A and B are shown apart, each in its own frame.
Chain A
Amino acid sequence: DAGVIQSPRHEVTEMGQEVTLRCKPISGHNSLFWYRQTMMRGLELLIYFNNNVPIDDSGMPEDRFSAKMPNASFSTLKIQPSEPRDSAVYFCASSWTDQLYEQYFGPGTRLTVT
């Protein structure tokens, strides 16, 4: 099993540009999560999906952030326009709903906005 796949692994962009992060969950998992890691706040849940449906997006910082899951094997997190304070590592994770909290994380995307 390839595990959770994220792309790109690193992204450097200028303020105001659109950024799209991509995630392929583990096949068969029906829950998908987007997290952001910063030194100050640790791992913050941004949004999670169950069976491709967004369940809780209360962690999305503001309207500049949006996430989609068009099918069970693909999700995107978009930031438009990006700002320097968005610089962080973004993780995608997936799990089986009946496995509850044992989430499998991807390697993360390190985003730098200059």
Chain B
Amino acid sequence: DQQVKQNSPSLSVQEGRISILNCDYTNSMFDYFLWYKKYPAEGPTFLISISSIKDKNEDGRFTVFLNKSAKHLSLHIVPSQPGDSAVYFCAATAGYGGATNKLIFGTGTLLAVQP
């Protein structure tokens, strides 16, 4: 029972164009969402996050959008660069600010940015 779903296993984008990675969730209790990036032979690294009280958070070339009614979030990368080629994991958690910091991850999307 996947509570966090990334339905696109892979995405290919031209350098300089926009990359849009999507994530859906089923648990309405989730109130904080994160994206992690993973290069081969390395562990995931934190990229950007968003609280459920917001619908958008921006950090340089990376923007995360949250649509709570649709239980959907997306990560936009503009412009895409070859160094962005990696696996991107969406993660969610319930109880932000509480005693637990348990993350539920999706299956990941492999982004390939073509020069």
29 A-B pairs with CB atoms under 8 Å apart are A4-B43, A31-B101, A41-B107, A42-B2, A42-B6, A42-B105, A42-B108, A43-B91, A43-B105, A43-B108, A45-B103, A45-B104, A45-B105, A56-B100, A91-B43, A95-B101, A100-B96, A100-B101, A101-B91, A101-B93, A101-B96, A102-B34, A103-B46, A103-B103, A104-B45, A105-B44, A106-B43, A107-B42, A107-B43
Picked from B43, B91, B108, the residue with its CB within 8 Å of the CB of A108 is B43
Do residues B106 and A105 form an inter-chain contact, with CB atoms below 8 A?
no
Give, as a whole number of angstroms, the nearest-CB distance from A22 to chain B. Answer: 15
Do residues A42 and B101 form an inter-chain contact, with CB atoms below 8 A?
no
- A-B pairs, top 5 by smallest CB distance, nearest first, are A105-B43, A42-B107, A43-B105, A102-B46, A100-B101
A44 at the interface (CB under 8 A from B): yes
Number of A-B contacts (CB under 8 A): 66
**How many B residues, CB 8 Å from partner?**
26
B22 at the interface (CB under 8 A from A): no
Instruction: Point out residues on B near A: beta carbons under 8 Å.
Output: 2, 6, 32, 34, 36, 41-46, 49, 89, 91, 93, 96-97, 100-108
Within 8 A of B (CB), among A1-47: 4, 31, 35, 39-45
Which residues of chain B have C-beta atoms less than 8 A from A41's C-beta? 2, 107
How long is the Cα–Cα vector from A103 to B44 in the complex, in angstroms? Answer: 9
Do residues B43 and A101 form an inter-chain contact, with CB atoms below 8 A?
no
How long is the Cα–Cα vector from A31 to B101 in the complex, in angstroms? Answer: 9
Which residues of chain B have C-beta atoms less than 8 A from A31's C-beta? 101
Interface of B, helix, strand, loop or mixed by DSSP: loop
Do residues B106 and A42 form an inter-chain contact, with CB atoms below 8 A?
yes
Within 8 A of B (CB), among A56-114: 56, 91, 93, 95, 97, 100-108
Which residues of chain B have C-beta atoms less than 8 A from A35's C-beta? 105
Give, as a whole number of angstroms, the nearest-CB distance from B80 to chain A. Answer: 23
Name the residue of chain A whose CB is nearest to the CB of B9: A39
Do residues A101 and B44 form an inter-chain contact, with CB atoms below 8 A?
no
- Known A-B contacts A91-B43, A101-B49; the reply to A40 vs B101 at CB < 8 A is no
Name the residue of chain A whose CB is nearest to the CB of B96: A100
